[in-house]
Amino acid sequence: MKIIRLFFWPFGVFVVIILLFYLAHPIVLPGYAWLFQKQNATKGADAIICLSGGRTTRVPESLRLWNQNYAKQLFVTDEKPLNREFSKIELNNLQFAQEVAKKMKLDADWKIVPSLSGGSTSTFDEAEDCLAYGTKMKWKRIIIVTDEFHTRRAHHAFEKIFGDSKIQVEVAGASNEIFSIEDWWKSDRGIMAYFGETVKFPVYFFAGREPRIVRND
């Protein structure tokens, strides 16, 4: 009898926990995703900088902000190609941004932030490139644009790099048509995105500047 009780008590507790999580997940999971998001862009910045990565979402959002007078200048970052031999077959970040502007019928003058290392491979690299160029151009405030789930980590990386400068960094997040903060756990991409941030954000948070756990060259 004791053996049966010892078995059913843990099993019962486990079932109750699963049931409570199921009932609460519409609140818990969006709340968890919210931890990785940050939106604080305001009008009047010197430049809008579209970070490399999900350019089909980030470029249109950058153009939307520009069209609403959040900043007069538009930039993309210079990303290191995964395969230099075949990278010229597809549009680079600048060319893609220019094509999207045409598609949206906006007369936007896109420029590229020069890379200090032959192309960025991380958000920290992009931050260092932007700091060097922004200091040269005497910027006072910039808006970085990335995907919503990447906003808090991206802003944290820029804040670390820009810490000793007088340039203020704000961030804006781009949404997508597959998942949102309200339903990210219902799609593979949403799960990958937020699980990825679960691993990456602590690494970025505790690292002094750029994490040296993995090589970026």
- Per-residue confidence (pLDDT) for residue 208, from 0 to 100: 63
- Per-residue confidence (pLDDT) for residue 197, from 0 to 100: 95
- Per-residue confidence (pLDDT) for residue 18, from 0 to 100: 52
Q: Within a 10 A sphere around the Cβ of 122, how many other Cβ atoms?
A: 17
Q: Which residue has the higher pLDDT, 215 or 51?
A: 51
Q: Provide the pLDDT confidence category of residue 182 given band limits of 50, 70 and 90.
A: very high
**Strand order from edge to edge, sheet including 168-174:** 110-113, 71-77, 45-50, 141-147, 168-174
Span 64-108, pLDDT tens digits: 999 999 999 999 999 988 877 777 788 899 999 999 999 999 999
pLDDT above 70 covers what percent of the chain?
Answer: 83
Lookup: tokens for 160: 């670390």
Under CATH, which number does the domain 45-206 receive?
Answer: 3.40.50
Lowest model confidence (mean pLDDT) among 15-19, 44-48, 203-207: 15-19
- Nearest by Cα to 180 from 24, 38, 33: 33
Lookup: tokens for 178: 């597959």
- Per-residue confidence (pLDDT) for residue 118, from 0 to 100: 87
**Helix boundaries (H) for 115-150:** 123-137
Span 130-144, pLDDT tens digits: 999 999 999 999 999
Return the CA Rg of the chain: 21
- Average pLDDT (44-51) is 98
**Is the confidence at residue 2, as pLDDT, over 70?**
no
DSSP code per residue over 12-66: HHHHHHHHHHHHHHHHHHHHHHHTT------S-EEEEEE-SS-HHHHHHHHHHHH
Sign of the C-alpha dihedral computed for residues 39, 60, 197 and 126 taken in this order: negative
Q: Provide the pLDDT confidence category of residue 63 given band limits of 50, 70 and 90.
A: very high
**Is the confidence at residue 210, as pLDDT, over 70?**
no
pLDDT above 90 covers what percent of the chain?
Answer: 69
Span 124-178, pLDDT tens digits: 999 999 999 999 999 999 999 999 999 999 999 999 999 889 999 999 999 999 9
**Is the confidence at residue 14, as pLDDT, over 70?**
no
Q: Is 191 left (phi over 0), alpha (psi -120 to 50) or beta?
A: alpha
Average pLDDT in the chain: 87
Lookup: tokens for 106: 């906006």
**Is the confidence at residue 20, as pLDDT, over 70?**
no
